[in-house]
Structure 1
Amino acid sequence: MTEAVRIRIETSFADIPAEDWARLAGASRGDAREPYNPFVSHAFLSSLEESGCAVAETGWLGQHLLLEGGEDGALRGALPVYLKSHSQGEYVFDHGWADAFERAGGRYYPKLQAAIPFTPATGPRLLHRTGEPVVETQAALAEGLKELTRRHGVSSAHATFVPETEMPVFEAAGYLHRTDQQFHFINAGYGAYEDFLETLASRKRKALKKERRAALEHGIEIDWLTGSDLTESIWDQFFAFYMDTGSRKWGRPYLNRRFYSLIGERMADDILLVMARREGRYIAGAINFIGGDTLYGRHWGCIEDHPFLHFEVCYHQAIDFAIGKRLTRVEAGAQGEHKLARGYLPVITHSAHYIAHAGLRRAVADYLERERQDVEMMGDYLAEHGPFRRGENHDDTD
């Protein structure tokens, strides 16, 4: 990077021009060289803020790093960052680190979090403008986050759900490497769902067919809604599902009704609602976001309980959609070993952690070394016990 650049901190996406942000690789569908990730789009991030979901009052104070340079001061790179007073809505758990540090007399919060709020999906964090020197831009942002940590005098900075390709940049800057596990469906060029079923062991194939039939008993039908289908009435119904299930599962759902109206206005073509209908009314639904090559399943809710309906709406229908649209992957959110039986394979996720306090850093580094080994061993074990056929040693009859 030959031209002089500087990093500026911006607290609000309302003050970042959407057209400038869209020039960052992966942040819009306009860049054919980088798969579009809807969660790093200006539309998604600004909707979280404008709705009041990710703001200072909820413990998410924007501290976004903007790398600017050249005579026109153009945006060269960016890193979404928040100053946080808690560890909620992150899905990479550091509560144990916080408790240990504070018992030892330290102050863990506030901390810096480079992440997409409430979104456990891997995507670019060290964003660079298309055509810019990638590694130099990313390195400047990683160092910028460290400097921001020092200026705020906070305990740490955490970049979560980082692409594996960005991890060498973070590690070179002195960040610790953490791994975890999710379950993703990998589309091996299937022409239809039946082609995917043929790759499974006979017993597993039969079980999934039976499960899908059972889920749609009692006259349940499935609708795919996207684009202009996403009316305010539809959002009212989906939000009722989200609040009912979210309140029981999490205690306090993170997202509000305004958020759904905003994303419906700004990115409706990037959204797929899978809605289950019975006797003329919707009773359950799951929201998915459509990326350049990936379908991202987020959350679901229901107002009626039916056996296997959760699996049908969240996992099987997502596979159907991905195969039909020739997407290469379905990311089905955090945790969930039950996804393995539905054809979702264990995949390693990555995060980077800069710990300012030397003693805490040593303790965390030791812990992460053991944790990485455990994650790798568990991934290997689960992959070996997946539903897929093994060579020629299987019964291929139904």
Structure 2
Amino acid sequence: MSVTIIDSLHAVSAEAWDALLPQQQPFLRHAFLSALEDSGSVGGRTGWQPSHRLWCDEQGEVHAALPAYLKLHSYGEYVFDHAWADACRRAGIGYYPKLLGAVPFSPVTGARLLGDAQAVGQLLDALTAELPAQGLSSLHINFTSPACDALMTQRQGWLERLGCQFHWHNRGYRDFQDFLDTLSSRKRKQMRKEREQVAGQGIEFDRRLGHELSEADWDFVYHCYANTYHVRGQAPYLTRDFFSLLAERMPEMIRVVFAIEHGRPLAMAFSLVDGDTFYGRYWGCLAEFDRLHFETCFYQGMELAIDEGLQRFDAGAQGEHKLIRGFEPVITHSWHYLFHPGLHAAVVEFLEQERSGVRVYAEEARSYLPFRQAGNG
């Protein structure tokens, strides 16, 4: 058994790659990752160079894999290590390139080390042993699943980092009103008022599946998506071709909500689904309307999850504003193997303090949830 490095997912068949996946989550599928590569969203001058690691036998059969990228910067990761890189720069220590096991631009928890447990462990040990010879400062694996966390805790040298996101849970609601009935009276009125404000502006909503969108629709989706970056003076991570390729390769997992005024779309929310989860991904608008973001991204997503019987709504990074709308704090995990002993020691101390702070923050955040308490309406 040995490590094979490939710079394109097309070096592995979709069947062989997807057979390693432990769940239906769309972000790890060959279709999703190859669409990133084929569209130019990664590779080239993006600073995300595909460098997937495979654990293969003598016949070339893949037993384990890590979707991985050589990184020349730390953008688009959502686990922020810019301070680590800056400290290395000031100390004269090379931090880039580093190796990152992740789904680009997607702060979504899931499997990262793919395959059976024994093969995955062998692959992981081989990767850390080879870092210096490959000129890499470190290996980072972001937004890991509980199975991956259990594997990492058994190995020396790995540092755990915690984060906090906010997810909404569908507790068997019959409809949106059923969800509202679980809230305190004040929060229930606030949500109703927000939805009424949007409806009062004459805005309607149209939900569509991936196969129902034309190329003109995708032009609009991309225009909205890119605009969220342009207004901040940034370039969007994804290219226009990515959306068309994804619609071609996995349309059944795509959901798009259009906000429409007088028959013309003015905003959209792009999402993906799997067997039990709704993943809110990209939002954008061409004109600002009061409360439109909350309605398009959150309330429409909740209704869609209820209608389709999905159990969870993962709305991505950030989001104290999600708390008061019923999104609950969830701890996320990432793991970091830093080869330089000085850097490793400094980060150990930092992470001990940060982990404590994240846990306190997540616990305090629960006090802002809108759900009614026993005995209160």
TM-score by length of structure 1 reads 0.92
Map of 1:291-330 to 2, 5 A cutoff?
291-330=274-313
* Cα pair 1:246 1:301 within 8 Å, conserved: no
Rounded to whole Å, the distance in 2 between the matches of 1:101 and 1:191 is 53
Rounded to whole Å, the distance in 1 between the matches of 2:38 and 2:45 is 12
Rounded to whole Å, the distance in 1 between the matches of 2:8 and 2:341 is 32
Rounded to whole Å, the distance in 1 between the matches of 2:253 and 2:171 is 23
Whether 1:364 aligns to 2:329 is no
Q: Cα offset for 1:250?
A: 6.0
Rounded to whole Å, the distance in 1 between the matches of 2:235 and 2:326 is 31
Rounded to whole Å, the distance in 2 between the matches of 1:117 and 1:145 is 20
User: Alignment partner of 2:348: what SS?
Assistant: helix
User: Alignment partner of 2:232: what SS?
Assistant: helix
Whether 1:17 aligns to 2:10 is no
Rounded to whole Å, the distance in 2 between the matches of 1:99 and 1:390 is 46
Whether 1:172 aligns to 2:165 is no
| Change beyond 3 A, Cα 1:232–1:183 | same
Q: Cα offset for 1:105?
A: 1.2
Q: Cα offset for 1:138?
A: 2.4
Whether 1:391 aligns to 2:368 is no
Let me know the Cα RMSD of the aligned residues.
Answer: 1.3
The aligned counterpart of 2:92 is 105
Rounded to whole Å, the distance in 2 between the matches of 1:322 and 1:142 is 36
| Change beyond 3 A, Cα 1:250–1:364 | farther
> 1:7-55 CA distances to partner (integer Å, 9 max, x unpaired)?
21111112211111121224xxxxxxx3x11000001100000111110
User: Alignment partner of 1:371: what SS?
Assistant: helix
> 1:282-314 CA distances to partner (integer Å, 9 max, x unpaired)?
100011011121111111000011111100111
Which amino acid is 1:118 matched to? Answer: F
* Cα pair 2:210 2:256 within 8 Å, conserved: no
Which amino acid is 2:310 matched to? Answer: L
* Cα pair 1:230 1:268 within 8 Å, conserved: no
The one of 218, 221, 225 equivalent to 1:238 is: 221
> 1:128-174 CA distances to partner (integer Å, 9 max, x unpaired)?
1xxxxx32122123223313423312211110111133112123223
Q: Which moved more, 1:191-200 or 1:80-89?
A: 191-200
Whether 1:143 aligns to 2:125 is yes
Moved over 3 A (4+): none
The aligned counterpart of 1:126 is 113
Q: Cα offset for 1:74?
A: 2.3
The one of 2, 8, 26 equivalent to 1:6 is: 2
User: Alignment partner of 1:360: what SS?
Assistant: helix
* Cα pair 2:21 2:28 within 8 Å, conserved: no
* Cα pair 1:122 1:349 within 8 Å, conserved: yes
Structure 1, unaligned runs of 5 or more: 27-33, 129-133
Residues matched between the structures, number: 376
The one of 269, 289, 292 equivalent to 2:252 is: 269
User: Alignment partner of 1:91: what SS?
Assistant: coil
* Cα pair 1:142 1:169 within 8 Å, conserved: no
Map of 1:68-87 to 2, 5 A cutoff?
68-69=56-57, 72-87=59-74
The aligned counterpart of 2:25 is 37
Q: Cα offset for 1:389?
A: 1.2
Structure 2, unaligned runs of 5 or more: none
| Change beyond 3 A, Cα 1:11–1:147 | farther
Rounded to whole Å, the distance in 2 between the matches of 1:216 and 1:47 is 36
* Cα pair 2:325 2:369 within 8 Å, conserved: no
The aligned counterpart of 2:140 is 158
Rounded to whole Å, the distance in 1 between the matches of 2:21 and 2:303 is 28
TM-score by length of structure 2 reads 0.97
Q: Percent identity?
A: 45
Rounded to whole Å, the distance in 1 between the matches of 2:236 and 2:21 is 31
Which amino acid is 1:254 matched to? Answer: Y
